Structure 1
């Protein structure tokens, strides 16, 4: 993150501060001496202990204030804005996950629609210099044209999660138009790295392996038509956000959308093989996942591929971390963080020989 882009005199409100991206962004800003107000409801969509572990890293910073609450509660959000008057707001709180939205639509509407509406309303009544919010590559749906560009039509989402993210973009545009709130939406492409989300495929593959279970790959075992993903390492995501924070959009309607992706889609099978090698390096032994191939799941898309030209033009940055480098950092962290589970797995394996 370029120091020149960060204004240390400002107060930054980060929703979803105990989440994957929220944690890393909070830490980066705090490391540079910024004042950060973090809010998170610490829900149990995935392992709460991991969220608490992230928070433990943040609470020692003198300039960090944490509020355990929910953005879907309007009076709570207004109270926070009234007390702290944030200059810049980064809304990363959301109910995540494509597949989960098929079975649990209510939580997506509460968090992603009602919650974001509350943030917009608070920015309206307590004016901010910039509202940056998380959108998602999922808004592109089954877009066949690659790479995905921000100007592409995104009116055909294939999951409720994607619908809520597209709705956020429309809501933000409207509030920018009506109330002159500078807003920037970020379409993230498959973010990964240490302390990441356990519901993401790469994390799940590791969990399955150390539980002695096969991994499920939803591509029908069709290697010629494998799934492609634009995997983006967490440091690149945070760098991109950081450069945009003090660069609010200008123009008649002060709203802009950016892709943050690696602009280098990888075959899912190549990604899995790279993950196997990363764990082999971390453990100094040959690691190979037991694989089961199944049909693609409803709501999944065959390929994600970001054009990053708009971001590069705006702030001179393009994500460049390779999956070899990024997955090695993840594997090293995983082996350390879950060392008891890892050791137990190998001790069982040795004793059964």
Structure 2
């Protein structure tokens, strides 16, 4: 029984030898990758009677030595000019066997590892610098509109400014045919198709973000180290807190609404505003809310004060006044309190 087992194991070993050898041949026949650039010549095959079985598509071959003799033959591959990276497979045949080759060719002047042209970074900097210059000029031009008193007092600047900036940016981009997005893409890969109007819209959106947005882009790409101050949400000064009051008017009142904010010292809460009307909710996105005090930010109160807020308006039927009150409450450091009264 033991002899039968040993015989069976021996036959399995003998039958497995060809399969093992075939696996070794497959591994030895694995592709050899050779990277080169357009116009560069590299040796790709050497040995006795060395030759390339296929004709190359993207280059030319040069051979030194006599294949008919038992002496080393050297085969060189010179890549032709190419606009984009290309690859082809060749077979190196020698007296000892064959070897698969993968030739990878990158355009002249491009890095073999990244595939980027040597001119990518200088040209990209020029494109972004142009965008920064145009954004700075556009900001200066729009400043006169954004600081115009009717604009400030009538419109909601945070909602309207981006729309106006985008419209002006679109006009400039289409007028001067600026497409920085497509230009940057073509620097990396010349065969990238133009994005038509979509590339210009993306350029206009970056431009509408202003010089700070373009500067942030340049810093992110490593072209600049200096950062401009970012736009931050307004906040109360040190030792203060903010209170704002919004009035939602009903049909029960008429005339202005009196707003009182402060510390009740026994003689009453100081009057700070008289609001004649309110802006409809759907229009507040683009128009200044005339029923809010103050129009922007908040009314500063000292930290630690017990503040009372009162609102008062005359009844529509003339029978007196309607009042509402908040507080007294202690104001915390840096507090931002938004109150809404419906009267």
TM range (shorter): under 0.3
Structure (1 or 2) with the larger CA radius of gyration? 2
Instruction: Between the two structures, name the one with larger relative contact order (CA 8 Å, sep ≥ 6).
Output: 1
TM-score, length basis structure 2: 0.19
* Higher fraction of helix: 1
* Higher fraction of strand: 2
TM-score, length basis structure 1: 0.19
